[in-house]
């Protein structure tokens, strides 16, 4: 009897796997599965209860999914380096997904129709699989003498997200992928993880390379603000906010009028995008004053507005300014201007300049972290630049004094 029940379950799972792939989970009926397996529908209910529990059994027990994770990790563990582990795992994962693309698309695309219990069970299954892979990856990382600021489970979760995203786009869209084949994608993915997430202790150069910091000199900042003033009130206000509050492009385009908090002694900007915080808008920027809390380039722009739109900055159609439109404005402002390295200033350098100037004025890293939304670790390179500037200023002052 046990052998017969197992055989019946196996036939039902196999039939369900075929029908889920052919018709999708939602359109597949229990009656159709029972007929495909040559059993009556009551037998299906007795073995699985309902269609969604049958779906779980397909994922857990079918030839496609059974012991999948263990098999993937066993192959990956046979490799000698973390890079080879990642490449082998990625390769085998994509190969497995491609064995049943219709089923994968159906399971994911129709998941919103499943009962909560079923989705929780799926989530639990994914979490358990993720943990098993993470344990093996952690061993591989430790054996290779590497380290990471991310946990092994976070790394595997990121890796699986990249792999599944790539597979989904590849299997549903045409002409979009930037890689000619899977091998090129896997090579790029491995390089990303090794350079940005997992780094060898003995090779600091392989750690994540952050954007190079290059603050702008005072005369260039002055030129940028004057150039913006010539272009118009909104352009002037945007560049003023960039250098006066150190906001990112994303934060600026999400600002609304109500986020500009003007008081007699201070002008604050309420940031609700990303790190929620309030940031004071400086009126002294690199040695020059640009108005007061109640009268500055931003308040003048708002007073000049004739529309009733909520957005702080708008385009010609009175719609909120997009990131691309803001960057185009910056390009107009920065035209014909060069940094000391002979490059056109970037909009990101305004935030970098603000950070360095705030540190130069004496603000502590913890306080700047609160105002900027950046971590203290992210701010340490700025602190080094500020110290260098202070050292240069001190040396210059000493040079003015006659030696005894």
- The correct CATH number of 2-206 out of 3.40.50.720, 1.10.150.20, 1.10.357.10, 1.10.510.10 is 1.10.357.10
Q: What is the mean pLDDT of the chain?
A: 82
Q: What is the structure's pLDDT at 183? A: 84
pLDDT digits (tens, 9 = 90+) for 304-360: 999 999 999 999 999 999 999 999 999 999 988 999 989 999 999 999 999 999 999
Q: What is the structure's pLDDT at 94? A: 81
Residues forming CATH 1.10.357.10 domain(s) in the chain:
2-206
**79 or 162: whose pLDDT is higher?**
162
**Token digits for 238?**
């945007």
Q: What is the structure's pLDDT at 208? A: 35
Work out the percent of the chain whose per-residue pLDDT is above 70: 78
Q: 167-180: buried (b, 16+ CB within 10 Å) or exposed (e) per residue?
A: bbebeeeeeeeeee
pLDDT digits (tens, 9 = 90+) for 249-297: 999 999 999 999 999 999 999 999 878 999 999 999 999 999 999 999 9
d(CA 306, CA 304): 6
- Cβ contact 85:137 at 8 Å: yes
- Cβ contact 16:54 at 8 Å: yes
Cβ neighbour number for residue 4 with a 10 Å cutoff: 8
**163 or 23: whose pLDDT is higher?**
163
Q: What is the structure's pLDDT at 192? A: 83
Lowest mean pLDDT among 16-25, 60-69, 174-183, 259-268: 60-69
Q: What is the structure's pLDDT at 149? A: 75
d(CA 215, CA 348): 9
Q: What is the structure's pLDDT at 109? A: 58
- Cβ contact 338:214 at 8 Å: no
Grouping H, G, I as helix, E, B as strand and the rest as coil, residue 331 is: helix
pLDDT digits (tens, 9 = 90+) for 41-54: 999 999 888 887 88
**Token digits for 192?**
């990303």
Q: What is the pTM of this model?
A: 0.51
d(CA 325, CA 238): 12
**What are the DSSP calls for 205-273, one per residue?**
GGS--PPPP-PPPHHHHHHHHHHHHHH-HHHHHHHHHHHHH---HHHHHT-BGGGEEE-SS-EEEEE-S
pLDDT digits (tens, 9 = 90+) for 105-132: 656 655 556 566 656 666 666 676 677 7
- Cβ contact 349:339 at 8 Å: yes
Which residue in this structure is represented by tokens 């390769």? 91
Residue 202 pLDDT more than 60? no
Strand order in the sheet with 267-271: 260-262, 267-271, 277-280
Q: What is the CATH number of domain 218-399?
A: 1.10.443.10
Element (H, E) at 11: helix 2-23
d(CA 8, CA 20): 18
* 221 phi and psi angles, rounded to 5 deg: -60, -45
d(CA 249, CA 255): 10
Residues 6+ apart with CB under 8 A from 12: 33, 34, 37, 39, 43, 44, 47, 48, 54
- Contacts of 340-348 spanning 24+ positions with Cβ under 8 A: 340/217, 341/214, 345/216, 345/220, 345/224, 347/242, 347/249, 348/211, 348/249
DSSP one-letter code for 63: T
d(CA 384, CA 391): 10
pLDDT digits (tens, 9 = 90+) for 346-357: 999 999 999 999
Residue 213 pLDDT more than 50? yes
pLDDT digits (tens, 9 = 90+) for 368-378: 999 999 998 88
Residues forming CATH 1.10.443.10 domain(s) in the chain:
218-399
**277 or 16: whose pLDDT is higher?**
277
């Amino acid at each position: 009897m046990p052998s017969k029940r197992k055989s019946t379950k196996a036939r039902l799972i196999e039939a369900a796997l075929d029908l889920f792939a052919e018709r999708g989970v939602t359109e597949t009926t229990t009656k159709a599965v029972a007929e495909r397996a040559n059993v009556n529908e009551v037998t299906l209910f007795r073995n699985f209860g309902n269609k969604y529990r049958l779906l779980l059994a397909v994922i857990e027990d079918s030839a496609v999914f059974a012991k999948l994770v263990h098999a993937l990790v066993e192959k990956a563990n046979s490799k000698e380096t973390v890079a080879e582990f990642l490449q082998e795992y990625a390769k085998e994962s994509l190969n497995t997904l491609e064995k049943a693309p219709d089923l994968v698309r159906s399971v994911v695309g129709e998941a919103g129709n499943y009962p909560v219990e079923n989705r929780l069970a799926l989530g639990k299954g994914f979490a358990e699989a993720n943990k098993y892979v993470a344990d093996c990856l952690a061993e591989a990382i430790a054996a290779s003498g590497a380290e990471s600021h991310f946990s092994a489970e976070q790394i595997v979760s990121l890796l699986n997200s990249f792999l599944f995203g790539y597979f989904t786009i590849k299997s549903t869209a045409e002409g979009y992928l930037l890689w000619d084949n899977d091998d090129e994608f896997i090579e790029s993915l491995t390089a990303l993880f090794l350079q940005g997430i997992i780094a060898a202790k003995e090779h600091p150069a392989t750690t994540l390379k952050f954007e190079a910091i290059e603050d702008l000199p005072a005369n260039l900042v002055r030129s940028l603000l004057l150039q913006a003033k010539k272009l118009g009130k909104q352009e002037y206000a945007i560049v003023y906010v960039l250098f006066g509050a150190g906001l990112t492009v994303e934060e600026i385009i999400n600002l609304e009028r109500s986020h500009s908090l003007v008081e007699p002694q201070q002008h604050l900007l309420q940031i609700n995008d990303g790190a929620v915080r309030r940031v004071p808008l400086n009126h002294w920027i690199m040695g020059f004053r640009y108005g007061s809390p109640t009268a500055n380039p931003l308040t003048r722009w708002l007073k000049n507005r004739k529309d009733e739109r909520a957005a702080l900055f708008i385009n010609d159609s009175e719609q909120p300014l997009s990131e691309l439109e803001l960057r185009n404005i910056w390009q107009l402002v920065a035209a014909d201007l060069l940094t000391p390295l002979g490059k056109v200033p970037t909009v990101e350098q305004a935030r970098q300049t603000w950070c360095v100037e705030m540190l130069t004025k004496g603000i502590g890293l913890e306080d700047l972290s609160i105002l900027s939304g950046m971590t203290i670790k992210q701010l340490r390179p700025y602190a080094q630049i500020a110290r260098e500037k202070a050292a240069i200023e001190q040396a210059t002052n000493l040079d003015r004094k006659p030696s005894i």
